[in-house]
């Protein structure tokens, strides 16, 4: 799942004025359609090692620990964040950088997951990355709870952030379901 594969049924909108005086588009119909099921896999079918577009890829996929439908919950969490803030949560093209970003934004990855990973960028349960990667992540990523659009109430923000956090739970067994 990725934003490019989520289409509006109807893109008609009204212009509304926010409390700050700016104008926003408000959709008349929020129904969507998902498209491009090219890599969809049933439980009983062969699972490739890598699935999902990079920016929306779950940690179990990056760590090569196997995956199932819960990786889609992770992807949707990333998409909701992007729709909410206008920014991609994990803007990267490198696995070790991606994992470092996760740690900076969501907190430390579970050692048990890291220790099980056969990937070369995980060394003795820790992410093996360059100084430049660490420097970039420290300067360009901030913890999830610090992202807040200015025109939303604190209560609405807390509720949505709680949902996103539950969707971005590292361990798929503890990640919420789509239901």
pLDDT at 72: 92
Does residue 109 or residue 51 have the better pLDDT? 109
Question: What confidence score (pLDDT) does residue 95 get?
Answer: 95
- What is the percentage of the chain residues whose pLDDT exceeds 70? 99
pLDDT at 173 over 90: yes
pLDDT of residue 39: 77
Question: What percent of the chain has a predicted confidence (pLDDT) above 90?
Answer: 68
- Reference 164, options 81, 69, 90, 106; nearest CA is 81
Chain mean pLDDT for the chain: 91
What digits encode the pLDDT tens for the residues 55-83? 999 999 999 999 888 999 999 999 999 99
User: What are the tens digits of pLDDT across the range 33-55?
Assistant: 999 887 778 878 877 877 788 99
pLDDT beyond 80 at 86: yes
Max intra-chain CA distance, the chain: 55
Closest CA to 98 of 123, 62, 66: 62
Q: Where are the beta strands (DSSP E) in 32-125?
A: 32-34, 122-123
Supply the DSSP symbol for 39: T
pTM of the model: 0.87
Residue 97 predicted with pLDDT over 90: yes
**Is-contact 117 177, C-beta < 8 A?**
no
Distance CA 151, CA 5 (A): 27
Burial (Cβ within 10 Å: 0-12, 13-18, ≥19) of residue 130: exposed
Q: How many CA atoms lie within 13 A of 45 on its CB side?
A: 6
Whole-number pLDDT of residue 67? 87
**What pLDDT, on the 0 to 100 scale, is given for residue 117?**
94
Nearest C-alpha neighbor of 151 from the set 15, 27, 23 = 23
pLDDT at 91 over 80: yes
- State residue 44's pLDDT score: 81
Contact present, 28 and 13 (Cβ < 8 Å): yes
């Amino acid at each position: 799942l990725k934003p490019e594969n989520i289409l509006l049924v109807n893109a008609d909108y009204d212009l509304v004025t926010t409390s700050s005086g700016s104008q926003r588009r408000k959709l008349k119909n929020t129904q969507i359609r998902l498209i491009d099921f090219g890599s969809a896999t049933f439980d009983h079918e062969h699972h490739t090692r890598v699935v999902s577009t990079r920016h929306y890829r779950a940690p179990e996929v990056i760590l090569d620990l196997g995956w199932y439908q819960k990786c889609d919950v992770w992807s949707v969490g990333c998409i909701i964040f992007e729709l909410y803030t206008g920014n991609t949560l994990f803007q990267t093209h490198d696995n070790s950088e991606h994992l470092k970003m996760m740690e900076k934004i969501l907190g430390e990855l579970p050692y048990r997951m890291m220790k099980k990973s056969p990937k070369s960028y995980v060394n003795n349960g820790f992410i093996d990355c360059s100084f430049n990667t660490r420097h970039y992540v420290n300067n360009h990523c901030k913890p999830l709870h610090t992202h807040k659009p200015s025109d939303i109430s604190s209560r609405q923000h807390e509720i949505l952030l709680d949902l996103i956090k539950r969707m971005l739970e590292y361990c798929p067994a503890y990640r919420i379901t789509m239901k």
